[in-house]
A and B are shown apart, each in its own frame.
Chain A
């Protein structure tokens, strides 16, 4: 039912306070190819929002529309009460007048300037007194730990250092909001985690709205107050990170955020508590309280998502609802986490557990899926 109403599906309200940035019915097309389809959402004052999705989902394009670097074919964008774009009222405020700042995937550190000149650029555009510029550039570079590099040519910097300078540059001009376009995707894994923490720290220091575009769900969860998951130019789901993680609305979200078992079964009435029941193979699974099975897929099967971390494995547990005997067929040790594949009445189940309690391959276990962790999801 929701799917038939693209506007409702593509609307995601503001999570906190009044809308500071508002995007209404935004549509973008390259030629006749529509890449963003009537997307609407808003960002509250000081809110940290992530646009999350696979490449080509329209998240970067949406961000670039807010910055004014792309021109939408339809819709409206309001920043701090000022309409900066409206297809109907024929308004299109140029990028340089929108008073935003942006961090680019390629950092976009000007190679012909020093670190100081890079950070001071936006301040000089604003015609701020040179003495104050010195002060502010020094302060913000200190904040990102780059104060010793102030007079270095930008070409001398490593990737992580360039990223820090790019962050300093975007905060120094005291913009209305900061837009980050996959800022960490060119860094190696370890540095990515550290920079993620530093961005979070900066977000706390400056009470600025941020929109963060990423394809990395971990980054989105770690950094934002709210996540909008996008797919094929549409908003797939929006909400607080934990809500999206725990109650994905569609199979796509369940798969894209974290890892999930997607169980396809037939409807088998409701439990005594009124929760829907799905039958898969020999097993009947009671689903989350208050949930409803959603429209079946082409095979007439209803889908239920179970996060790989939620099933519980025990040796010789007392029988209870949603518990079945199973056998461990494969175990992969990853260090912090152990991946099991468990054979049970419903087929195969992937379970991620900690190495504190290890099970061996071939071992018989009791496997329990708590009802509130079995989330009915919509097929694609």
Chain B
């Protein structure tokens, strides 16, 4: 009897320990590998293409493109300078602001917490546009003001320099660092620091020996996020660097692709180099982080110990104000001001202001009007499809017992390491080779958006799914509820706050996106980002500013809705 049961057990174990990959894992995995792998494959073949440059996949292979690239090493060098400098400055701002907001008693912290978050969704395109009018050497507002006050004719600042690009990149990416590092600060048990003081360590020693090492994983993650997005950043270097012939990889790639004839293979080779650079950065950070994900920083939220800095509080207040001024008040103010003008020269005479630029971009000019509508459709579409897809994947990776769920998670996060501009080029070539006619449709842009923003959507949804106690669904099952009823009455209501927040985030990044849509949106499928960009290219500051203000308003409305929902949201 027992022998029979034993052998049954042995057989059953042999059966169950065989590879068990279930549909909820392999279906999304296959879809994703196809959607990421094929564009990547085309990019690689094109990078080694030495034959017909417009053949996808290529027919003749060689290293000629990479050899040609060695003549343009400054593109790669400049990319690294901008990304490294921007990351260092951005992290400095991020750590400082996160610390001021979460760890000091500075007045108005709650308000600043809201204000500091805004520049990121406004995005680099709006930022570059605004700062090109603020910091231009001759007629930039800051320099005009400086000359008017001091009488000195030499400009105070020049935004069309590598330093200007680094500065603009840093201030518009810094909110992400504040978010990541601030979250880690809130999850750190204050007892760890208190213990250090009890043993006699002073404030500085505690900060250096306890707080900073504990924050290191968060700081590194934030740095990696910034570095990869700056490597692939398109709008800022193009708008601030091209006129002074400062080329990083992305605006060089743009020139290569816009030239006649377009140099696809060289652009692909350059893109491949960028992907390798990003991969190296990811690998390095993971190596450093390995075994350093401290259990003390997870789950539970603590009230961090707040330090009263005395008279220094006002210095901190000034620093925070300065950031809000540079990243939000001045840029938005400038855009608003410019959008009311009759000509490129900014006139401070209120009587001369006009609203006709808004009328023009919203009603009179079909291209921009269509771009606004298309961007709203894309925002809603990317939000909806992205959230649904990400929720399925998050449930599969966290709840399924299938093998391969870790792999699915890694593949889902993979697009983060692809600069979006480069992925979009590979994606464009892919849809050109597909038998279905996708090129020039809004659906193609939508697909590309869903793929490039999937890591963002997955991160959001996975955070929510993890927080929901499995027993809540099990309790419903034991009560007799079937799968559909559990989804309707338990899972979805519990996911709702997270679903809405993630949806709105996807909506915002889709509305402001330019890198992924620049080459994918055709003449009949204009969207906001590329429309603003081409408007800027052909001059006409008042109108492009008006369009940028419209984009910013759409994003700000979405942001307000999220914030108010988050405040009323159910605590899970």
User: Which residues of chain A have a CB within 8 Å of any CB of chain B?
Assistant: 5-8, 25, 27, 29, 31-32, 34, 37-38, 67-69, 73-75, 87-88, 94-102, 104-108, 110-112, 121-122, 125-126, 155, 169, 173, 179
Contact = CB atoms under 8 A, between A and B. Distances in A.
A188 B170 CA distance: 50
A104 B8 CA distance: 31
Nearest to B481: A125
Nearest to A172: B479
B480 A122 contact: yes
A111 B12 contact: no
A96 B485 CA distance: 11
B462 to A, nearest CB: 20
Given A87-B12, A125-B485, A101 B479 contact: yes
Given A69-B477, A122-B479, A111 B572 contact: yes
Nearest to B7: A74
A108 B472 contact: yes
Nearest to B492: A112
Contact of B9 (A34, A155, A173): A34
B478 A101 contact: yes
A68 B9 CA distance: 19
A27 B475 contact: no
Nearest to B13: A29
Contact of A155 (B2, B16, B571): B571
Contact of B471 (A27, A101, A108, A122): A108
Given A38-B5, A95-B477, A100-B478, A73 B494 contact: no
B469 interface: yes
A7 B1 contact: yes
Nearest to B403: A31
Given A74-B5, A173-B480, A104 B12 contact: no
Interface in B456-491: 469, 471-472, 474-482, 485, 489-490
B6 interface: yes
B315 to A, nearest CB: 41
Contacts of B471: 104-108
B380 to A, nearest CB: 25
18 contacts: A27-B8, A27-B9, A67-B478, A73-B13, A74-B8, A74-B12, A87-B8, A96-B479, A96-B482, A102-B475, A102-B478, A110-B490, A112-B493, A112-B570, A121-B479, A122-B480, A125-B479, A155-B570
Most interface-central of A29, A99, A112 (chain B CB within 10 A): A112
A75 B485 CA distance: 30
Contacts of B474: 67, 69, 95, 102, 104, 108
Nearest to B469: A106
A126 B478 contact: no
B17 interface: yes
Nearest to B17: A32
B12 A121 contact: no
Contacts of B480: 96-97, 99, 122, 125-126, 173
B15 interface: yes
Given A94-B477, A99-B480, A107-B471, 6 more contacts: A7-B1, A27-B8, A38-B6, A68-B477, A73-B16, A169-B475
B471 to A, nearest CB: 4
A6 B572 contact: no
A100 to B, nearest CB: 6
B15 to A, nearest CB: 7
A102 B482 CA distance: 16
A106 to B, nearest CB: 5
A6 B10 CA distance: 14
A39 B138 CA distance: 85
Given A25-B8, A27-B12, A38-B6, A108 B475 contact: yes
Contacts of A88: 8
Contact of B2 (A7, A68, A173): A7
A352 B116 CA distance: 64
B302 to A, nearest CB: 20
Given A8-B2, A104-B471, A38 B9 contact: yes
Contacts of B2: 5-8, 38
B571 A95 contact: no
Contacts of B493: 112
A169 B479 CA distance: 9
Contacts of A94: 477
A121 B489 contact: yes
Contacts of B13: 29, 32, 34, 73
A101 B472 CA distance: 13
4 closest A-B pairs by beta carbon, nearest first, are: A7-B2, A73-B12, A122-B479, A108-B471
B6 A96 contact: no
A99 B570 CA distance: 30
B304 to A, nearest CB: 24
A68 B477 CA distance: 9
A5 B4 CA distance: 12
A77 to B, nearest CB: 14
Contacts of A104: 471, 474-475
A124 to B, nearest CB: 9
Contact of A121 (B469, B481, B572): B481
Nearest to A101: B478
A108 B16 contact: no
B182 to A, nearest CB: 25
A73 B401 CA distance: 14
Most interface-central of A6, A29, A96, A122 (chain B CB within 10 A): A96
Contacts of A5: 2
B479 A7 contact: no
B571 A111 contact: yes
B5 A25 contact: yes
A178 to B, nearest CB: 10
Given A29-B12, A95-B478, A108 B469 contact: yes
A107 B469 CA distance: 10
Contacts of B472: 108, 110-111
Given A111-B571, A125-B479, A173-B479, A74 B17 contact: no
Interface in B186-214: none
Most interface-central of B2, B6, B475, B571 (chain A CB within 10 A): B475
Interface string B492-521: 011000000000000000000000000000
Interface in B235-261: none
B466 to A, nearest CB: 14
Contacts of A100: 478
Contacts of B494: 110-112
A121 B476 contact: yes
Contact of B477 (A8, A96, A111): A96
Contacts of B570: 111-112, 155
Contact of A6 (B6, B469, B479, B571): B6
Contacts of B572: 111
B192 to A, nearest CB: 25
A112 B498 CA distance: 14
A91 to B, nearest CB: 15
B9 A96 contact: no
Nearest to A126: B480
A184 B249 CA distance: 62
A187 B402 CA distance: 35
A327 to B, nearest CB: 43
A31 B12 CA distance: 10
B562 to A, nearest CB: 19
Nearest to B489: A121
Interface in B1-44: 1-2, 5-6, 8-9, 12-13, 15-17
Nearest to B485: A125
A6 B9 CA distance: 13
A37 B469 CA distance: 28
A37 B9 contact: yes
A27 B469 CA distance: 26
Contacts of A121: 476, 479, 481, 489
Interface in B304-345: none
Contacts of B15: 73
B444 to A, nearest CB: 38
